[in-house]
Amino acid sequence: MKPLSKILYLEDDPHISEIALIALRDIAGFDVHHCGQGQDAINSFTEFQPDMLLLDVMLPDLDGPQVLEAIRKLDGGESVPAIFMTAKAQKHEQDAYMQQGAISVIVKPFDALTLGETLQSLWSSRGSQSAGEAHLVP
């Protein structure tokens, strides 16, 4: 199995993105392309060719599920694992994100020290989950 190395990260909050980028780049060593708007993430997808998508749910332009839907229509975007990050942690909301194609939901606030390990674990176990089975990360 190919190792996880490239993550397309969508987050509009500069404080959250700063912490996550330190966690993903500096601590975990991933190649991360950060976008602050949904349309930028869609436009960056083809050139960056990420292994994984890490998408904020609530954004000012397009929300995370809309971005995922658009990326799924791009060449190569149909099978890239996607994880939503959100403070909206109600079970019915998380279930809806999973039905929209996410392999997991990471609830904000997240643990910056283990974020990279969490993504690596999800990457490694992505084939072992049943379709639609939620993998929720508190």
User: Could you report the per-residue pLDDT of 34-86, keeping only the tens digit for each?
Assistant: 999 999 999 999 999 999 999 999 999 999 999 999 999 999 999 999 999 99
Given pLDDT bands bounded at 50, 70 and 90, which one contains residue 130? very low
126 falls in which pLDDT band (50, 70, 90)?
confident
Query: For residue 8, what is the enclosing H or E element?
Result: strand 6-10
Q: How many CB atoms lie within 10 A of CB 9?
A: 24
pTM assigned to the model: 0.91
List Cβ<8 Å contacts ≥24 apart for 56-60: 56/10, 56/11, 56/12, 56/13, 56/16, 56/84, 56/85, 56/86, 57/84, 57/85, 57/86, 57/88, 57/97, 58/86, 58/87, 58/88, 59/10, 59/12, 60/12
In the predicted model, is pLDDT for residue 22 greater than 90? yes
Mean pLDDT of the chain: 91
- The fold of the 6-120 domain, in CATH, is Rossmann fold (3.40.50)
pLDDT in tens, 105-123: 999 999 999 999 999 999 9
Domain segments of the chain: what residues?
6-120
